[in-house]
Homo-oligomer: A and B are copies of this chain.
Amino acid sequence: MANEFLVARAFSPTNIALAKYWGKRDLNLNLPQNGSLSVTLDGLGSTTQVEFSSQTNEDHFFLNGVEQFAPSALKKVKTVLDILRSRKGISLRARVESQNNFPTGAGLASSASGLSALTLAASAALNLNLSKENLSEIARFGSGSACRSFLGGYVEWKKGEKPDGTDSVAKSVADEKHWPLSVMIIVINEKSKLYPSTDAMELTRETSPYFASWVEFAESQIPHIRKSIIERDFKSLAQLSEENCIKMHASAMAASPPFLYWAPQTLEVMKRVWSLRQKGYRLFFTIDAGPNVVIFSDDPQWDKIQLEFKDFDTIKSRIGEGAKIL
């Protein structure tokens, strides 16, 4: 091989699901029980550089400047690198350096942006000419939700029907210009430890009596959420998203032991959102597997709405573009 020093950098945003993914049907292929639908968040994400080189005989992974040795973190990175090396037919090891531009401990999922940025940077370094769909399929092996970060705007991760998972990929529902909603993340710090999401999903699948109904509900709701986005029907999207969020959490808290991700302030924010909506404001919330609340709005009085949450730490965002090579 002529070139033994291959390097590229990519930025990938994080995303947050309105129709959530909580449960796998295949752990090896990382296939979801149901489809999910997310929005890509503008500006918040990971910048990742990948350098394949003959100078090293081990993969190294640095996150925010610190080398990572935890097997769970390394495994995700190596999984993606191995797939790409195998496509290229090389065995060079890589040095991966990733930086998240949102505060650590802000509770934002860094695996979605991190694994998608890694996939894009590594594929660029190897000069693999992969479509966004191909990239999404590969990133999925590292982190399910990462597959949704290659596209901007509103993105659907298809459940897929094929046993090999090649159709469990991200598809665009609408780009970021279609419906420029305002986004605000309410950052709620909590000391209680969070379970790794794969473990929590597996325990939910095994022990929650509501899991099967959750999966059926979640899959059936996707076309309605997609439609409300295409038609820019805010009231419908608000109701569907909140019900999806609450049912995902209800399924997880019905596990044994219960996975109860909400902090007291999480409920405070949820109820404040409902109270503002009763007053006529246009906003809704969603919550991932943690205490933070993400608020969406298309209200002309968005400035006024934001003031209602000024007693919390917040991060402003909007609907953004997908991952890109730097």
Q: Which residues of B contact A265 (CB under 8 A)?
A: 264
Give residues of chain A (248-286) contacting chain B, Cβ–Cβ below 8 Å: 250-251, 253-254, 256, 258, 260, 262-268, 270-271
A262 to B216: give the CA distance in the assembly, Å.
26
A254 to B253: give the CA distance in the assembly, Å.
12
A180 within 8 A of B: no
Q: Which residues of B contact A263 (CB under 8 A)?
A: 267, 271
A243 within 8 A of B: yes
A109 to B217: give the CA distance in the assembly, Å.
33
A162 to B267: give the CA distance in the assembly, Å.
42
Interface magnitude class on chain A: 20 to 34
Q: Which residues of B contact A209 (CB under 8 A)?
A: 210, 213-214, 216-217, 247
A242 within 8 A of B: yes
A73 within 8 A of B: no
A315 within 8 A of B: no
- Contact check, B271 vs A258: say whether CB atoms are below 8 A apart: no
Output the nearest chain B residue to A267 by Cβ-Cβ distance: B264
A246 to B261: give the CA distance in the assembly, Å.
13
From B258, B268, B271, give the contact of A246 (CB < 8 A): B258
Top 9 A-B residue pairs of the complex, sorted by shortest distance between their CB atoms? A250-B250, A264-B264, A210-B210, A209-B213, A264-B268, A264-B267, A209-B217, A250-B254, A247-B254
Can you sample 20 A-B contacts with CB below 8 Å?
A: A209-B216, A210-B213, A210-B214, A210-B247, A210-B251, A210-B254, A213-B213, A242-B258, A243-B258, A246-B253, A247-B254, A250-B250, A250-B251, A250-B254, A260-B267, A260-B270, A262-B267, A263-B271, A264-B267, A264-B268
